[in-house]
Amino acid sequence: MRELPDALGVLAELAVDMRWTWSHEADALWRTVDAQTWQRTENPWEVLQEVPRTRLMELANDPAFMEELQRVAASRRAYLGAPGWYGREYPSSPIRRVAYLSMEFGLGAGLPLYAGGLGVLAGDHLKTASDLGLPAVGVGLLYQQGYFRQLLDPSGAQQEVYPYNDPASLSIRPVVAPSGARLRIPLALPGRMLEVRVWQAQVGRVPLYLLDTNDPLNSPIDRGISGALYGGGPETRLAQEIVLGIGGWRALAALGVPVDVCHLNEGHAAFAVVERARQFMALHDVSFWEALWATRAGNVFTTHTAVAAGFDLFSPALIEQYFGPYLAECGVSVSDLLGLGRARPGQDGEPFNMAYLALRGCAAANGVSRLHGIVSRRLFQPLYPRWVEREVPVTHVTNGVHMPSWDSAEADELWTRACGKERWLGRTEELTGAIRSLADEPLWELRVARSRHLIAFARARLATQLRHRGAPADAIAAVDGVLDPDALTLGFARRFTDYKRPTLLLYDPERFRALLTDAARPVQIIVAGKAHPADDAGKRQVQAWMRFIQQPAIRGHAVFLEDYDLALAQQLVEGVDVWVNNPRRPWEACGTSGMKILVNGGLNLSELDGWWDEAYTPEVGWALGDGEIHAGPEWDRIEAEQLYRLLEHDVVPAFYGRDTRGIPGGWVARMRASMATLTPVFNSNRMVREYLERLYLPAARRFQERSAQNGALARALRAWELKVTRHWEDVRFGHLEVRQDADTWAFHVPVILGELDADEVRVELYAEAIGGEPMRVEMRPSEELSDVGHGYVYRASVPTTCPAALFTARAIPQHRGVQPPSELPLIRWQR
């Protein structure tokens, strides 16, 4: 950070706090400092780097500017000093800190450390933790290049560019150790010591620590470990995940950050569960496995993957190469670690799966939508043999988006009038009524203002693209006639990959062309998206759109805006009328892009997948598909036909069905219903509060209980695990008998427990209900068995309204505070 005049010192605090990405109260201030740089970047950090010192001196002597500066600074101090929703609602919470580890963070275009939805979600999570006052800290990597930037050549072929992330140009600061030197975290890699530097970004109340290997003390190869997001081969990827998981947890320890809950955003950070156990082991003089029983209780794992191929896999040889000496410190073998990352721990040829390690190292796990929870339980079923799929210990917390980061200025003004300025700082359920009471006129005015802004932006962006390609002057001038702010505007923007079917709208290009060029009811579309550099099929899909758009009849009705990033996404979600999303069900884990239009009055036309599967009703938008899983090109044809039909017969007529005021009443009714019913639910306030109440608070309490008295309970749990595992094969059932007793079925079954005590085994009746929740009825031990070994006759009764034939008996390990199968997946069935 450059040196500023003393009177302007607070400007540096405002610039380094990335709250400016969602709080716009200081926008006018930065525009006053340097209007040109602000217009180009909307990044206060860049403004401070570019403004001449003479201008700074002028501002320091400008009373009006200084008054505004003090007002903004005072507002920020009030925000930081307030207890927030969390402090008010949970003044006696056991949580000291939640550590949120993620391979990417999407906070704003000025800190490009993200590739897509995973990173944007992580950024929204931290922003919301700040708004709610949740004590949290983020941990990620500082990439020298980040994700690639996209250029399209005249033929539409994607070119990748990797600009350098100069730390001096980013709103981050180096972390200094107590000695006054740069804080470095040493990590032992094969044959050498890696030095990891630590940087800090500030996200309102929440610090984000970023790890960087681009240190002159490292070899050139090791400096490149943090070179590019998801770059390099398996060895580089493994090293990145070691830096994030092990290095990240060590950085928190070096900083003295007390953490109760460790939240892994995907399996990339799973090595943190091993390092957390190792540190607990050293601190409390327990074994590694006893330490894991203590720390696992405080670990939460969020999976975002909908297909097994999406999990990070590493060869056993690579794990052995990198972890041999480290595991010696833990007192465990490479085979032990490999077993934590395998479905079948004893299968030597099976690769090491980071998601499996995360699941085995966390007592709580969740998918990111209701449907994704179902898909995830199916994916992780192999880790829980003989357990019913619905009992696989993966719940769901449906994603949400940070609404203040995604609302337009016009939407912000409308929501403020209706719901107040504090609307996103606590519970959001009560917002529904205020939005439902809005009249048609302000809602339609919102749409008109948003559309005009978006079309002006798209034209300017398209002109810049054409200039970069060397287009002739007449082609650039013609951009002023591209798109129409009064026409129905579709938006389609996402990663271009096969399962997202980015070219489904082009399935019948002539039919789509007719839809776009209808003189009476025109439709237009803005497309954006990147294909992964190694995804040739995705690149061909980008090129297919470019070929379609370059047709003379189409040019005024469709544009492809290159280099899809946060800044472009913000413009699109603020202004489109309909957001189109057509992935193959159930491959879209959540799909948060469609949530971002809600606050702005946009409507969704989406596949019944991810969040839309639980959000859709006819009054809020349109649904594609039948809610079932299909495969093959024939279903693509069927859904393309359905997509065209929805646009032709439902969407377009609704938009152009105007009343005497020129307002489409049916369309505005959908806007109102969508804003009122969906926005209060599919926002990150609800999401983070759900994480807190369902996962974080129980995790913190369990961790503190198990770590008390130097891990006394954790030691007992490890001893219990060893005993139960050793003798589980001795648990056997006799014949389950049932008789009717009035209006109940009376069940009894002899159970031999072998060396186990009755309080170490739960015996229950289980029935898989048809079309509802299964029934679990605990059976109680009665008379002791006398002639067949240690055991009891277990008894239970159920109403005769439930067919007796549905029930079977089963045995599950039992201990206070342990919820099988999450931490011990043993089970024994009577038949």
CB 760 within 8 A of CB 791: no
Which pair of structure tokens corresponds to residue 602? 């946009």
Helix (H) / strand (E) element for 559: namely: strand 558-560
Question: In this structure, are 237 and 195 located in the same domain?
Answer: yes
Task: Please report the sign of the dihedral spanned by the C-alpha atoms of residue 664, residue 670, residue 674, residue 676.
Answer: positive
- pLDDT above 90 for 469: no
Q: How far apart are the first and last CA of the chain?
A: 70
Confidence of residue 792 (pLDDT cuts 50, 70, 90): very high
Q: Average pLDDT for residues 234-252, to the nearest whole number?
A: 97
Which pair of structure tokens corresponds to residue 344? 């079948």
Question: In this structure, are 538 and 657 located in the same domain?
Answer: yes
Contacts (Cβ under 8 Å, ≥6 apart) of 160: 148, 149, 150, 151, 533
Q: Quick one: pLDDT at residue 768?
A: 87
- Amino acid at position 114, single letter: Y
Nearest to 152 by CA among 536, 560, 570, 567: 560
Beta strand ranges found along 621-707 (DSSP E): 621-624
Cβ atoms < 10 Å from Cβ of 86: 21
Q: Select from 49, 81, 113 the last residue of a domain.
A: 81
| Residue listed under structure tokens 């024994």 | 828
- pLDDT above 90 for 5: no
Q: Could you read off the pLDDT of 165-219 as tens digits, one per residue?
A: 888 888 999 999 888 889 999 999 999 999 999 999 999 999 999 999 999 999 9
Q: Could you read off the pLDDT of 735-768 as tens digits, one per residue?
A: 999 999 999 999 999 999 999 999 999 999 999 8
- The torsion region of residue 563 among left (phi > 0), alpha (psi -120 to 50) and beta comes to left
Q: Could you read off the pLDDT of 515-528 as tens digits, one per residue?
A: 999 999 999 999 99
Count the residues in the chain.
831
Is residue 611 included in any domain, yes or no?
yes
Structural domain count, the chain:
4
Helix intervals (H) in 678-740? 684-690, 697-727
- pLDDT above 70 for 1: no
Q: Look up residue 237 and give its DSSP letter.
A: H
Is residue 658 included in any domain, yes or no?
yes
- pLDDT above 90 for 315: yes
Question: In this structure, are 71 and 144 located in the same domain?
Answer: no
CB 371 within 8 A of CB 342: no
Question: In this structure, are 320 and 373 located in the same domain?
Answer: yes
CATH of the domain at 824: 2.60.40
Question: In this structure, are 73 and 107 located in the same domain?
Answer: no
Contacts (Cβ under 8 Å, ≥6 apart) of 103: 118, 119, 140, 141, 229, 230, 240, 241, 244, 265, 266, 268, 269
Cα 501 vs. chain centroid, distance in angstroms?
A: 21
- pLDDT above 80 for 555: yes
Cis check: omega of the bond before 586, within 30 degrees of 0: yes
| Residue listed under structure tokens 């928190």 | 252
Is residue 176 included in any domain, yes or no?
yes
Confidence of residue 146 (pLDDT cuts 50, 70, 90): confident
Contacts (Cβ under 8 Å, ≥6 apart) of 397: 302, 366, 367, 368, 687, 690, 691, 694, 695
User: Which residues make beta-bridge pairs with 203?
Assistant: 206
Q: Average pLDDT for residues 676-705, to the nearest whole number?
A: 97
Is residue 714 included in any domain, yes or no?
no
Q: Quick one: pLDDT at residue 62?
A: 93
Question: In this structure, are 347 and 247 located in the same domain?
Answer: yes
Which pair of structure tokens corresponds to residue 783? 């008379």
Q: Could you read off the pLDDT of 571-598 as tens digits, one per residue?
A: 999 999 999 999 999 999 999 999 999 9
Domain that holds residue 57: 6-81
Question: In this structure, are 119 and 47 located in the same domain?
Answer: no
Question: In this structure, are 382 and 462 located in the same domain?
Answer: no
Confidence of residue 779 (pLDDT cuts 50, 70, 90): very high
Which pair of structure tokens corresponds to residue 593? 């892009």
Q: Could you read off the pLDDT of 568-577 as tens digits, one per residue?
A: 999 999 999 9
Is residue 441 included in any domain, yes or no?
yes
Helix/strand/coil for 789: coil
Cβ atoms < 10 Å from Cβ of 347: 11
CATH of the domain at 562: 3.40.50.2000
Confidence of residue 4 (pLDDT cuts 50, 70, 90): confident
Q: Quick one: pLDDT at residue 636?
A: 95
CB 180 within 8 A of CB 110: no
Which pair of structure tokens corresponds to residue 44? 């206060």
Q: Select from 18, 50, 81 the last residue of a domain.
A: 81
Question: In this structure, are 535 and 593 located in the same domain?
Answer: yes
Predicted model pTM: 0.96
Q: Select from 81, 110, 132 the last residue of a domain.
A: 81
Question: In this structure, are 248 and 314 located in the same domain?
Answer: yes
Is residue 253 included in any domain, yes or no?
yes
Confidence of residue 265 (pLDDT cuts 50, 70, 90): very high
Helix (H) / strand (E) element for 501: namely: none
- pLDDT above 80 for 769: no
Question: In this structure, are 385 and 531 located in the same domain?
Answer: no
Question: In this structure, are 99 and 71 located in the same domain?
Answer: no
Helix/strand/coil for 118: helix
Nearest-angstrom CA–CA distance, 748 and 28: 76
Q: Could you read off the pLDDT of 630-676 as tens digits, one per residue?
A: 988 899 999 999 999 999 999 999 999 999 999 999 999 999 999 99
Is residue 415 included in any domain, yes or no?
no
Is residue 136 included in any domain, yes or no?
yes
Query: Taking the CA of residue 176 as centre, how many other CA atoms within 13 Å lie in the half-sphere pointing to its CB?
Result: 5
Query: Taking all residues of the chain, what is their mean pLDDT, rounded to a whole number?
Result: 95
Sheet containing strand 603-607, strands side by side: 558-560, 523-528, 488-493, 578-581, 603-607, 621-624
Confidence of residue 6 (pLDDT cuts 50, 70, 90): confident
Nearest-angstrom CA–CA distance, 331 and 363: 22
